[in-house]
């Protein structure tokens, strides 16, 4: 799914209006029907709605939604700055339609403190949409601050008021905190970054049938990884195939006390389907690895820590889990990278070793995948003000080094050397545990070994990891889910893909 800027979204509306053809008021009605139907279906325990409407088209949506909810049996109170103030043309039409309905009360924002918000009341935020270009101030800022103190279920129409679609306002900006954001047609970038996404609650994308022609022909470098993309990437196994068709994956890592990391990566590589899987690890992990991962073959790389990395151009390597940063390990890794030139996966301590000087980064083979979390990224490439700036730097470094960067976050970003960014929306906070990244390393190494391109391996691998974590969290809860549980759910994700195909 493409992600568009606020300007592109406005153009999308206009293109739909001029080419369908449909009038702007009809398009507003279509969007409002989608939201009113969603609320009616999902908020059956609520009987009242307090709808806060701005004077623009987002407020027009709110006015239309109020009328529709009233017709569905809700008690509706509408709050506006002043019923006599100037509204946008379409919002004014919907305000006029409400005057024929005696059961809906229209109040001023100033009357909110006298209003009773019981636990059956939904707050609906329709103050500002995608057109907001500066932080809230004055009375509107105070209104949003007051709404944020309420315990009621809060829904935002399209965008939480006060939130920019494309960027980050100053730290002190006041933004409405929604429980749900019911947005139209596509994700917005600000929903996907930690500084801004915390305001959206659960995001629901509603299809209001905007022009498919516009969507297909309009260029963007930002995407959300959706199921349709994954179904195009996924390559089912062929009946007349053998282990030689699915590559040779080597998980290189481990050190005394950190063998569990390489076990997790090895298990996930096996579960993801590599034809042959090897574990290159120090001898202190031999017994553990042979007993926990009998399907993988063991290659000795040292005694208590890694000192030697066997170099075989026919193997695809995933290096880093539990590796440690011993000077002899560092020397062995540099020697390996100077002589191995195929794409590979680098994570964890492999990245920490490389981060010691910027010159080390030139050792990374082109088209490789690196998987830093924010702190590892900072060590590699430098500090940035926020996640938006971090992503800009990642785009620059991906192009400069000709590598794929998997920038781990709540919505992990996959950055390609061509400047494309894919936001992943699978996964949950259950992955915020040591070992989760090791599982991802094994998945990515296995996919790369099986012949997936670096881009497709990164996109598919991150999605697969997150979807398996979602299945695991459904069974055990986010608190209790373990990285091993994620590995064990990979088979169910592949079964889901096979079913869809």
Tell me: the pLDDT tens digits for 364-422? Answer: 999 999 999 999 999 999 999 999 999 999 999 999 999 999 999 999 999 999 999 99
Bridge partners of residue 70, in order along the sequence: none
- Mean pLDDT over 427-442 rounds to 97
Q: How many other C-beta atoms can be found within 10 angstroms of the C-beta atom of residue 223?
A: 18
Q: Is the pLDDT of residue 8 over 70?
A: yes
Rounded to an integer, what distance in angstroms lies between the CA atom of residue 357 and that of residue 65?
Answer: 57
pLDDT tens figures, 287-303: 999 999 999 999 999 99
pLDDT tens figures, 197-232: 999 999 999 999 999 999 999 999 999 999 999 999
DSSP 3-state of 329: helix
Residue with tokens 């910027």: 358
Backbone angles phi, psi at 210, to 5 degrees: -70, 160
Rounded to an integer, what distance in angstroms lies between the CA atom of residue 346 and that of residue 365?
Answer: 10
Closest-CA residue to 289 (of 274, 303, 299): 299
Rounded to an integer, what distance in angstroms lies between the CA atom of residue 226 and that of residue 221?
Answer: 15
How far from 71 is each of 120, 329, 376, CA to CA, in Å? 18, 70, 54
Res 501: pLDDT: 59
Tokens of 98: 């409400």
Q: How many other C-beta atoms can be found within 10 angstroms of the C-beta atom of residue 313?
A: 9
Identify whether the C-beta of residue 275 lies closer than 8 Å to the C-beta of residue 246.
yes
Most distant CA pair in the chain, distance: 83
Rounded to an integer, what distance in angstroms lies between the CA atom of residue 296 and that of residue 59?
Answer: 60
Rounded to an integer, what distance in angstroms lies between the CA atom of residue 57 and that of residue 294?
Answer: 62
DSSP summary character for residue 207:
-
Res 102: pLDDT: 84
Closest-CA residue to 468 (of 410, 426, 412): 426
How far, rounded to the nearest angstrom, does the alpha carbon of residue 66 sit from its chain's CA centroid? 32
Sorted by where each starts, the structural domains of the chain and their CATH numbers stand as 6-216 (3.40.50.10260), 230-500 (3.40.1190.20)
Confidence (pTM): 0.95
Res 100: pLDDT: 82
Find the helix or strand (DSSP H, E) in which 134 lies.
none
Q: Taking all residues of the chain, what is their mean pLDDT, rounded to a whole number?
A: 96
């Amino acid at each position: 799914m493409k992600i568009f800027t606020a300007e592109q979204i406005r153009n999308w509306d206009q293109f739909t209006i001029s080419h369908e053809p449909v009038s702007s008021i009809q398009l507003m009605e279509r969007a409002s029907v989608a939201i009113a139907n969603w609320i009616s279906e999902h908020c059956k325990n609520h009987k009242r709605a307090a709808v806060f409407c701005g004077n623009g088209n987002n407020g027009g949506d709110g006015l239309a939604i109020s009328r529709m909810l009233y017709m569905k049996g809700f008690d509706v109170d509408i709050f506006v700055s002043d019923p006599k103030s100037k509204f946008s043309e379409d919002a004014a039409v919907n305000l006029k339609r409400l005057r024929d309905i005696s059961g809906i009360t229209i109040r001023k924002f100033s009357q909110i403190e006298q209003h009773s918000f019981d636990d059956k009341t939904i707050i609906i935020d329709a103050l500002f949409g995608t057109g907001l270009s500066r932080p809230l101030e004055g009375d509107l800022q105070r209104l949003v601050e007051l709404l944020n103190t309420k315990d009621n279920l809060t829904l935002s129409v399209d965008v939480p008021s006060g939130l920019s679609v494309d960027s980050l306002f100053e730290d002190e900006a006041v933004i409405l905190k929604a429980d749900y954001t019911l947005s139209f047609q596509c994700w917005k970038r600000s929903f996907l970054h930690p500084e801004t996404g915390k305001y959206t609650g659960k995001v629901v994308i509603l299809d209001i049938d905007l022009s498919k022609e516009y969507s297909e022909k309009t260029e963007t470098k930002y995407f959300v990884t959706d199921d349709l993309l994954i179904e195009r990437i996924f390559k089912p196994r062929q009946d007349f195939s053998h282990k030689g068709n699915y590559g040779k994956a080597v998980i290189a890592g481990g050190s005394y006390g950190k063998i569990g990391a390489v076990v997790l990566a090895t298990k996930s590589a096996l579960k993801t389907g590599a034809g042959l899987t090897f574990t290159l690890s120090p001898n202190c992990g031999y017994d553990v690895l042979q007993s926990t991962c009998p399907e993988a073959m063991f290659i000795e790389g040292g005694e208590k820590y890694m000192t030697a990395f066997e170099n075989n151009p026919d193997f695809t390597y995933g290096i880093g889990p539990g590796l440690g940063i011993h000077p002899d390990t560092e020397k062995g890794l540099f020697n390996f990278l100077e002589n191995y030139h195929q794409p590979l996966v680098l994570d964890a301590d492999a990245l920490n070793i490389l981060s010691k000087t910027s010159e080390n980064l030139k050792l990374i083979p082109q088209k490789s995948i690196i998987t830093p979390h924010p702190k590892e990224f900072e060590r590699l490439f430098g500090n940035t003000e926020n996640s938006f700036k971090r992503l800009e730097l990642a785009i620059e470094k991906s192009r400069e080094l000709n590598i794929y960067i998997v920038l781990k976050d709540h919505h992990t970003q996959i950055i390609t050397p061509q400047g494309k960014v894919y936001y992943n929306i699978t996964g949950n906070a259950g992955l915020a545990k040591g070992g989760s990244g090791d599982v991802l390393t094994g998945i990515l190494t296995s996919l790369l070994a099986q012949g997936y391109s670096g881009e497709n391996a990164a996109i598919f691998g991150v999605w697969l990891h997150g979807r398996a974590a979602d299945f695991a969290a459904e069974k055990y809860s986010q608190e209790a889910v373990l990285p091993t549980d994620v590995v064990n759910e990979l088979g169910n994700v592949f079964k889901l893909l096979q079913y869809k195909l």
